[in-house]
Chains A and B, each alone.
Chain A
Amino acid sequence: MAILTQEEAKRIIDKVLGYSKADEASAILTGGRTGNIRYARNTVSTSGESDNMSLVITSGFGKRSGSATINEFDDASLEKTVRRAEEIARLAPENPEYVSMLGPQKYLSTNTYAESTAKIDPEFRAQAAFESIEPCEKRKLTAAGYLEDSTGFTAIGNSKGLFGYNKETSVDFSITTRTADGTGSGYVVRDFNDVSKLSTKASTEIAMQKALASTGARALEPGKYTVILEPTAASDLMRTMFFNMDARSAEEGRSFLTRKGGGTRLGEKLFDERVTIYSDPTNAELPGTPFLGGGGGRRGGGGPGGGGPGGVDGRPQEKITWIENGVVKNMSYSRYWAEKKGVKAVPPAFGVIMQGGNQSLAELIKSTEKGILVTRFWYIRMVDPQTLLQTGLTRDGTFYIENGQIKFPVKNFRFNESPVIMLNNVEAMGKAMRTGGSLIPPMKIRDFTFSSLSDAV
């Protein structure tokens, strides 16, 4: 398996940096294994596993930079790739926003690796699928699910002496169960670093209950309702907001955090005073990579980035409060923009934690006179980036609550709502739980806008 120790990884990175003739150079070494199993119609449809290790070398000359990747680690291949990165850099156009690489950094100790997840093998995955399919079959329900696990490492280093190493494991599981006649559907999604916290059987039981309870849904008139959003629904709706906390966009006048007349809304109270949102890589339930980037073994991406391939520039991740008692406390900065503005280059939010209350979901329901319980939102898309207005639909279990009790299932709704407006209409919050890489409480929200009905189940 392609998991190198810190010493092994450092040896390769040091060797590569030793070959460099550029003004500065960095190396990102990632490796790992990812496996998955997918099932539908109560039978396994696909499964697979793959190993990979790859090294990205970035060379810089003045304000020009270039990158090259390699999967072979003999000396000749490494040196050839360093030369190639240098060649690409020399021919690259100057980037006026190029920022020189960071020097040595101090990283927090975080706990992103679990041996239990690293040990997952094809038999484990097949058993996990079996424990999900079997109870569904017994109740004449149809299961469709997916489990994906990954174990990997990331090592970063540069010619200015920066070095970081992190090992990480993750497991993602989702299950949809449907009744045979297609009139009921339930869903559960879970993500952990440590697979021993996951029971596909227990998760499937919840999805089954929702599927069975959601048959015979009645149509309610669209309009404004008090809703109780389960953490998955709430998290998915707020995700775009977390991605739009960038200071530069706001200062350029094109963000929900842009202030009328110029500047940003940093320091303004934009939300209900109970809203406090932060990120903290040392959180035990939601540990994060100690530096910007990481997640070895996962598929890569490309984009405008800056500072390094895909934005991996080695900045330390620390506890950052984004919103405190409803007030915007921090925004994220690229290193270029921070330098220009003379402020700290706060990296973007990863692993968002929203402070909740102590109530359980059941207690939130109990205290609700009239409302709608939402399991999940689907196909959420931005309608207006100015206000973060989004649209989407409820899915896989939507229920009407009256006098503190779930009365009956209701047909799915389309909503048009902004998380900014929603977080001003908070009635109550329950205990936060991990979902989709965030820690989010269930929330009771008043005046949530449902704009039409859907026949979808």
Chain B
Amino acid sequence: MQLSGMGLSALVMPSMVNWSDGTVPVRGNTVSPEQLLEPGADVALKKKLADIALNSAKSRGATYTDVRIGRYLQQYLFTRENKVQNITNAESYGVGIRVIANGTWGFAATSDVTPDAVAKCAATAVAIAKANSKLQKEPVELAPQKGVGEVSWKTPLTKNAFEIPVREKIDLLMKVNGEAMKNGAGFVTSNLFFINEQKYFASTDGSYIDQDIHRIWPTFTVTAVDQRAGKFKTRDAFSAPMGMGYEYLDGLASEKIAGPNGLVGYRNSYDMVEDAILAAKQAKEKLTAKSVQPGKYDLVLDPNHLGLTIHESVGHPTELDRVLGYEANYAGTSFATLDKWKTKNFNYGSKLVNIIADKTQPNSLGLVGYDDEGVPAKQWNLIKDGILVNYQAIRDQAKILGEKESNGCCYADNWDSVQFQRMPNVSLQPGSQKLSVQDMIKGVEKGIYIVGRGSYSIDQQRYNFQFGGQVFYEIKNGELAGALNDVAYQSNTQEFWNSCAQICDKDDYRLFGSFFDGKGQPSQVSAVSHGSSTTRFNGVNVINTGRNI
């Protein structure tokens, strides 16, 4: 990740928003930090407005309607060295109405959250559905969902990040930057991202769901420069974006895992200053590290690295809309086709590989009470003992899998975006045998230990991928043998997961996250976590990425 501050035009690519041009998605109006703390509309009022929309749509011929009244808050802080570059406080408020009429979806949204405007918006949604029904070939069939009545759900947090004074946040980032500079960094940028979604959902199924969802992402990039050699190296933070409040930044010792070479694994509490100090030292170390000899290596992959590999090679290919072709013009399709799934013996990975989809996982980015079409959060298997057993499906897709209910992974990134299938948390289950990272390394003769999220690229059907990382250590005869540079590994998804040889136990389990995952046209972002323990993959092809220009 680089925030170079160059220009406006965002090139939004699938899988991750590319923000190499310094642009991150901001929705809504710039406001003061105090305005973010003002209470939103009262629940009783929201119910009244929702009922107006439901009735308006029904009277015009809709057979199903859902209404989302959403207030989306964002606070982003950007700093470099001893300077605050930008603080963004933004609020976006409005209503999105989705209907089925003539067996076809219609959607309309408005920022005018008044009875008349909401009724009119519902009518527009019905009109759009009816107009589009002329081109409709496959009438929409929704999996049934029993109404849940009037309920509410909140991210279980102890410190609401929006209540923490901006000054305190700046002080933290200045300390992070200062410590990095003291420990050898030439440059450092650091950021805090906070998101709060206050969403009210109502549907003709009889659900009225009020949710208050929080997410946080502290991150930085440290750069070390050797001017004489004309070289520079960076090291990004080992934090994970989380579905938590400001308490994630407490840096609790009880949530740290001591790794080899002074590395620290962070579970549900992150020590940003400590990580920045280590990052500065590691960035400097990278300036003189040995360039890797290409060839086959056994890879020991830390959860803060493996999360992205899981995201790209398991998360995306098991999205049912991709499998069916709805993303063919943009994100692509999938190698994990329905015919492979139907055989019930498609070997996605080795027998050790158990991957679950989960919207209930504590502290995760995907954690909610209900999804954006009113389905309660749940957990289900995607890969069981190495076999592909299921996909990620929403209400209008469940029947394709012969399922009677949705998996509950429907999401829209704002009130004016239409909800569609988005990735739940997709995580690799830890090994059942007691195994630490140190013990795993002892068993590797020729390998590389990789930590952190680096460069990533995968084809549109998710076969061939190439991943880099943040720090790389050579493993020789069971011991770490120094830092490496220019490392990237290439593999094929099925081959890679079948080379999975060992997984550390639950004590090493941690979450990785993607905060701005992009999909759809127009592109929408979503946030998703991927948990795993350190995992070993045997005989993976490593290339050398060093060049001279």
Interface of A toward B, CB cutoff 8 Å: 36, 38-48, 50, 54, 56, 67-71, 84, 87-88, 91-93, 95-97, 122, 126, 129-130, 133, 142, 144-146, 148, 174-176, 178, 182, 187, 239-240, 243-244, 246, 249, 252-254, 256, 258-262, 270, 293, 295, 299-306, 309-312, 332, 334, 348, 350, 378-389, 391-393, 395, 412, 414, 416, 418, 420-421, 437, 451-457
Contact = CB atoms under 8 A, between A and B. Distances in A.
Among A40, A68, A148, A301, max chain B CB count under 10 A is at: A301
Contacts of B135: 39, 43-44, 126, 129-130, 133
Contacts of A309: 30
B100 to A, nearest CB: 13
B206 interface: no
Contacts of B330: 146, 174
A40 B418 contact: no
Given A243-B21, A252-B187, A253-B232, A451 B490 contact: yes
Interface string B264-284: 000000000000000000000
B457 interface: yes
Interface in B98-112: 105, 107-109, 111
Nearest to B166: A91
B86 A303 contact: yes
A95 B231 contact: no
Interface residues of B, number: 103
A301 B10 contact: yes
23 contacts: A39-B135, A41-B324, A43-B135, A46-B105, A50-B416, A69-B29, A69-B90, A92-B87, A122-B131, A144-B326, A144-B329, A148-B522, A246-B4, A260-B229, A262-B228, A301-B25, A302-B26, A303-B19, A379-B14, A381-B457, A389-B547, A393-B459, A455-B461
A302 B227 contact: no
Q: What are the 10 A-B residue pairs with the smallest beta carbon separation, nearest first? A: A260-B230, A301-B23, A454-B464, A302-B26, A144-B328, A456-B459, A69-B29, A144-B329, A456-B461, A304-B85
B19 A144 contact: no
A382 B20 contact: yes
B227 A36 contact: no
A414 B29 contact: no
B13 interface: yes
A56 B30 contact: yes
A380 B457 contact: yes
B332 to A, nearest CB: 8
Nearest to A41: B325
Contacts of B418: 46, 48
Contacts, number: 281
Nearest to A455: B463
A452 B23 contact: no
Nearest to A305: B86
B4 A68 contact: no
B88 A302 contact: yes
B24 interface: yes
Interface string B413-426: 00010100000000
B440 interface: no
B33 to A, nearest CB: 8
Interface string B111-129: 1000000000000000010
Contacts of B488: 383, 391
Given A301-B25, A393-B457, A259 B230 contact: yes
Contact of B24 (A47, A244, A302, A334): A302
